[in-house]
Amino acid sequence: MTSEKNTGEELVETSAEVEETEVPSDALGTAARLWSVASGQRWRLVVAALCSVLYVAGSLGATAYSAGLIDLLWGNIQAAFATGAPFVVSLENGGVQILTFLGIWSAAWLFYTIQVFVMASFAERLNLRLREEIARKLSRLPLSYYDAHQPGDTISRATNDLDKISEVLQRGLLQLVIAVCMVGGAIILMSTYDLMLTCVFVAFGIVASVVTKLVTAYTLKVAAARQASLGRLTGRVEEAYSGRAVIKAFGREEASLEDVRAAAEELAETSATADFVTNAITPVIRFLMRLCQVTVGLLAGGMLVMGQISVGVFQAFFQYVMQASEPLTQLSLTINMLQGALAAAERVFALLDEGEVVPDPGVPAELPEAVRGRVAFEHVRFGYAPDRPLMRDVSLVAEPGQKVAIVGATGAGKTTLINLLMRFYEVDGGRITLDGVDTRELTRAELRRRFGMVLQDAWLFEGTIAENIAYGKPGATRGEVEAAARAAHVDFFVRTLPHGYDTMLSNDAENISQGQRQLLTIARAMLTDPAILILDEATSSVDTRTEQAIVRAMEAIMENRTSFVIAHRLSTIVDADLILVMEKGTIIEQGTHAELLEAGGAYAELYRSQFA
Q: What is the pLDDT of residue 4?
A: 38
> Given the DSSP bridges, would you call strands 562-566 and 578-583 parallel, antiparallel or unpaired?
unpaired
pLDDT digits (tens, 9 = 90+) for 530-557: 888 888 876 665 666 766 766 776 776 7
Could you tell me if 55 and 255 are in contact, meaning their C-beta atoms sit under 8 angstroms apart? no
Determine the average pLDDT of the residues in 352-380.
86
Sheet hosting strand 375-382, strand order edge to edge: 391-398, 375-382, 429-434, 437-438
Q: What is the pLDDT of residue 332?
A: 63
> Given the DSSP bridges, would you call strands 375-382 and 578-583 parallel, antiparallel or unpaired?
unpaired
Say whether pTM exceeds 0.75: no
Q: What is the pLDDT of residue 94?
A: 73
Distance in angstroms (rounded) separating the CA atoms of residues 516 and 542: 8
Pairs from 252-260 (Cβ < 8 Å, separation ≥ 24): 260/233, 260/236
The neighbouring-strand residues paired with 590 are 580
Task: Judge whether residue 560 has pLDDT over 60.
Answer: yes
Task: Judge whether residue 11 has pLDDT over 50.
Answer: no
Helical pair 4-18 and 311-352, crossing angle rounded to 10 deg: 20
CATH number for region 8-225+275-352? 1.20.1560.10
Distance in angstroms (rounded) separating the CA atoms of residues 473 and 454: 15
Q: Do domains 8-225+275-352 and 375-611 have the same CATH topology?
A: no
If pLDDT is split at 50, 70 and 90, which confidence band does 5 have? very low
Could you tell me if 19 and 164 are in contact, meaning their C-beta atoms sit under 8 angstroms apart? no
Task: Judge whether residue 3 has pLDDT over 50.
Answer: no
Task: Judge whether residue 431 has pLDDT over 90.
Answer: yes
Q: What is the pLDDT of residue 508?
A: 64
Task: Judge whether residue 337 has pLDDT over 80.
Answer: no
CA 576-582-588 angle, to 5 degrees, is 95
| b (16+ CB within 10 A) / e for 35-54 | eebbeebeebbebbbebbbb
Distance in angstroms (rounded) separating the CA atoms of residues 69 and 94: 7
If pLDDT is split at 50, 70 and 90, which confidence band does 12 have? very low
Q: Which residues contact 231 (CB under 8 A, 6 or more apart)?
A: none
pLDDT digits (tens, 9 = 90+) for 500-525: 899 888 766 667 777 778 888 888 88
Q: What is the pLDDT of residue 438?
A: 92
Query: Which is more confident, 553 or 78?
Result: 78
Task: Judge whether residue 433 has pLDDT over 90.
Answer: yes
Q: What is the pLDDT of residue 8?
A: 39
Pairs from 254-262 (Cβ < 8 Å, separation ≥ 24): 260/233, 260/236
Q: What is the pLDDT of residue 10?
A: 40
The neighbouring-strand residues paired with 580 are 406, 590
Q: What is the pLDDT of residue 162?
A: 84
What are the structural domain ranges in the chain? 8-225+275-352, 375-611
| b (16+ CB within 10 A) / e for 417-426 | bbbbbbbbbe
Query: Which is more confident, 11 or 77?
Result: 77
Dihedral sign from CA coordinates of 155, 159, 162, 168: negative
Q: What is the pLDDT of residue 7?
A: 37
Determine the average pLDDT of the residues in 445-457.
83
Could you tell me if 166 and 124 are in contact, meaning their C-beta atoms sit under 8 angstroms apart? yes
Determine the average pLDDT of the residues in 581-603.
89
Distance in angstroms (rounded) separating the CA atoms of residues 304 and 316: 13
Determine the average pLDDT of the residues in 415-430.
89
Q: Which residues contact 52 (CB under 8 A, 6 or more apart)?
A: 111, 112, 115, 174, 177, 178, 181
Q: What percent of the chain has pLDDT over 70?
A: 90
Could you tell me if 125 and 160 are in contact, meaning their C-beta atoms sit under 8 angstroms apart? no
Could you tell me if 105 and 48 are in contact, meaning their C-beta atoms sit under 8 angstroms apart? no
Q: What is the pLDDT of residue 229?
A: 82
Q: What is the pLDDT of residue 432?
A: 93
Could you tell me if 458 and 550 are in contact, meaning their C-beta atoms sit under 8 angstroms apart? no
If pLDDT is split at 50, 70 and 90, which confidence band does 430 have? very high
| Range of weakest confidence among 88-102, 176-190, 400-414, 455-469 | 88-102
| Range of weakest confidence among 280-294, 423-437, 506-520 | 506-520
Determine the average pLDDT of the residues in 64-73.
78
Q: Count Cβ atoms within 10 A of the Cβ of residue 212 and give its class: 0-12 exposed, 13-18 middle, 19 or more buried.
A: buried
User: Class of 375-611 per CATH?
Assistant: alpha beta
Strands in 141-244 per DSSP E:
none
CA max distance for the chain: 128
If pLDDT is split at 50, 70 and 90, which confidence band does 9 have? very low
Could you tell me if 38 and 122 are in contact, meaning their C-beta atoms sit under 8 angstroms apart? yes
CA 470-473-479 angle, to 5 degrees, is 55
Write down the mean pLDDT value for the chain.
81
Sequential DSSP letters for 304-370: HHTTSS-HHHHHHHHHHHHHHHHHHHHHHHHHHHHHHHHHHHHHHHHHHTS--PPPPPSS-----SS
Q: What is the pLDDT of residue 510?
A: 67
Distance in angstroms (rounded) separating the CA atoms of residues 271 and 283: 19
If pLDDT is split at 50, 70 and 90, which confidence band does 154 have? confident
Q: What is the pLDDT of residue 350?
A: 87
Q: What percent of the chain has pLDDT over 90?
A: 6
Determine the average pLDDT of the residues in 48-71.
83
Q: What is the pLDDT of residue 129?
A: 87
| Amino acid present at 299 | L
If pLDDT is split at 50, 70 and 90, which confidence band does 453 have? confident
Distance in angstroms (rounded) separating the CA atoms of residues 194 and 492: 90
